Amino acid sequence: MEINRELFECKSYVNGQFVDCQSDIALDVLDKNTGDVLASVDLLSENEFENVMDSVVSGADRMKSTSAQERSQVLLRIAEQIRVKFDEIVQIITLEAGKPIKYAKSEVNRCIRTVEMAASEALVFAGETVNVDYDAGQNKSAYTKPYPVGPIICITPFNFPLNLVLHKVAPAIAAGCSVVLKPAPQTPLSALVLAKIIHNSGLPVGAFNVVVCDNDLAQRFVEDDRFKMLSFTGSDQVGWKLKSLVPKKRCALELGGNASVMIDGGVDAASIVDTIAKGAFLYAGQICISTQRIIVHESVYDNFKEALLTSTKSIVSGVSTNQETINGPVISREHLDRIHSWVTQAIHEGANLLLGGQVFDETAHIYEPTVLENVSHDSTVFKEEVFGPVVILEKCTSFSQGLQMINQSKYGLQAGVYTNSIQHMSLAHDTLEVGGVIMNNVPGFRVDGMPYGGVKDSGVGREGIRYTLEEMSEMRLLVF
């Protein structure tokens, strides 16, 4: 599979131009299946810092003069160009992210939906009339109007290299904000494709910038007071550290988790097990809401375990270009080694290895779909986010106990619950300390308009187009 190199420039995009690097440092972007270099992208120099800041500040000023209709039309043009370049963008995501090609197609379809929803929301997002006609406000009227928060620094991860970018950029455009985007170093090409698309969309110069840079320069951007908001998706360690550096800055953090799914007594294991296996092992478990813990009522535990092992054996592992692949490459050798070390540690601490536990393909960094049982709650693989194709089986004696087991985690992004009981559904919603409870489905369920985000160590704020617009806007009250 070849990528179309005319889709992107191998340079950062600042103030409406692809800027030449002032050093010889370049970032090699690898084909995650072979390790071959897809492209070498120039790293932005420290000398460009003020140029970037001047661009995003002037871009914010230009965005203030745009109408909602103009911003909506820009977004529709962006969506149309993604549609036109659909197959070529799929190829880039498949190779630079190692994402199975069917799932890469799903991502690009979601990108189109994300941008089109932002275009619609730009036309309807508004404040509200506020009743102040009492006490000191008698005979007065009031209403709120949203104003863009200002320049935003956006930092995105490798696993959805275009759609998670657009979950920040599209609402920012709709809200009238300017953006500096720092994409993941493993997957910058998708963001640079977007830069070329936006360059021809009619968006004001400076309103969108892409910086491919090292972490030190990225931190310098985060700390600059001219940015009014940080929108970050990535690890909890990095996210909370960045937030601590900017305590007065508005922050939206989506930091992942170790998502659980619970199976209640009376649920037919055979009817759900394939969905659960796919929810655990799709894209090598490199999704913030991939199923990591499976908690099963003791009355159906044995039947479910047998069915899960059978289903897991049918999961196709392989390179991302194979149409049948579900479990594809892990993003890097470093992550492959980390996953294996966590599994090995858990086994040494008493866990039962029911399936997998080995590297499937050294070259493509593919790890076997792995099922563990009796894992110590002190094991790293239990406490942290694996971000790999590993699931943990646990047994509960009651529905209430199962809910409490889910809540033991320091994370709280989403949880899935399978039950035949309306009462248990309501109890789960009331009890679970998560941002979303997904009934009779895996925690990995997401559509792009829903409020998405977590509690506890999983972050603050919500994504989902209208909800992101709220995060990126300030409601200003007028009383008259």
List the catalytic residues. Answer: 254, 288
Question: Distance (Å, rounded) from C-alpha 404 to C-alpha 384?
Answer: 18
E-strand ranges in 94-249 read 129-130, 142-148, 152-155, 179-182, 208-210, 229-233
Bridge partners of residue 80, in order along the sequence:
none
The SS3 assignment for 106 reads helix
- What residues contact residue 216 under an 8 Å CB cut-off, 6+ apart? none
Question: Distance (Å, rounded) from C-alpha 57 to C-alpha 226?
Answer: 7
User: Sign of torsion, CA 60 65 71 73?
Assistant: negative
E-strand ranges in 227-292 read 229-233, 250-254, 260-263
Question: Distance (Å, rounded) from C-alpha 446 to C-alpha 258?
Answer: 16
- What residues contact residue 46 under an 8 Å CB cut-off, 6+ apart? 217
Note whether 364 and 32 are within 8 A (CB): yes
For residue 387, give the H/E element and its range.
Answer: none
E-strand ranges in 390-480 read 390-396, 411-412, 414-418, 436-439, 455-456, 459-460, 473-479
Q: Look at residues 160, 157, 98 and name the one whose alpha carbon lies nearest to residue 364.
A: 98
Give 203's Cβ-side CA count (13 Å radius).
Answer: 35
- What residues contact residue 348 under an 8 Å CB cut-off, 6+ apart? none
